Structure 1
């Protein structure tokens, strides 16, 4: 029995969904270096695993935003914001704890994704029948200017 031919679906997804440029990097390692101009400590950049077509999508359900209490606090400190990263099947699997960001958007009037970053909460998903790679994300809480 032949498998399902998803080539036309893969092409449609590439044309219509994977329209922004995303970057997946490993977390930075090494000691921070003092930037004498800003007076801030800066960590070296992590290794880039992938940069190319992709998309970041938030979930449409409010139930996907949850809060996790810190064990030492009686209240909830941070929320977990569920997103997903879509990349072509030929892109490498993003490992857990890799950092995803959008570095260019197809619609220059909609730049809300720029300057944000997400942490890969699990490795990219894999399945028997796939048309796009899906990686679960959690938005980093601090947005860089």
Structure 2
């Protein structure tokens, strides 16, 4: 039988080829000494290391039409895989893709939509994301 730590190492080695940066805004404003203006505080970087980013389609059913019929919508979502020793990621944290096997992912940012999943037998951390914006990559 495989040990939990062996499965974790396998997952990190084979499922987390990218580098991300997770940051958290404090919501506080600070005084800008040169202008005297209140500006948002710089975000706190809570994690900067390996991860795996995977697309996930989410189906949503709601009774949004005028005649009461159910409407089905498909939205793109993403799963972020992190090592077990990564700090807890909070809802509304921002994830920036710094390096990736898929060049088009570099520079994209995502918003964390829910607290990370937990398990009785944890081997990695799973965090759910939605795309926030896409920065153009310099050629």
Distance 1:52 1:84, change over 3 A: same
Match of 2:24 in 1: 26
* 1:55 and 2:55 aligned: no
Match of 1:17 in 2: 15
User: Once the 2 structures are TM-superposed, how far is the Cα of residue 136 of structure 1 from its aligned partner?
Assistant: 0.7
Q: Structure 1 regions of 5+ residues with no counterpart?
A: 34-41, 69-78
Report how many aligned residue pairs link the two structures: 116
Distance 1:9 1:112, change over 3 A: same
TM-score, normalised on structure 1?
0.69
Q: Structure 2 regions of 5+ residues with no counterpart?
A: 33-38, 63-73
Match of 2:88 in 1: 93
Alignment RMSD: 2.6
Aligned with residue 124 of structure 1, among 112, 116, 125: 116
* Higher percent of residues as strand: 2
Match of 2:43 in 1: 46
Distance 1:28 1:144, change over 3 A: farther
- Specify the structure having the higher radius of gyration (Cα): 2
SS in 2 for 1:10: helix
Aligned with residue 130 of structure 2, among 127, 133, 138: 138
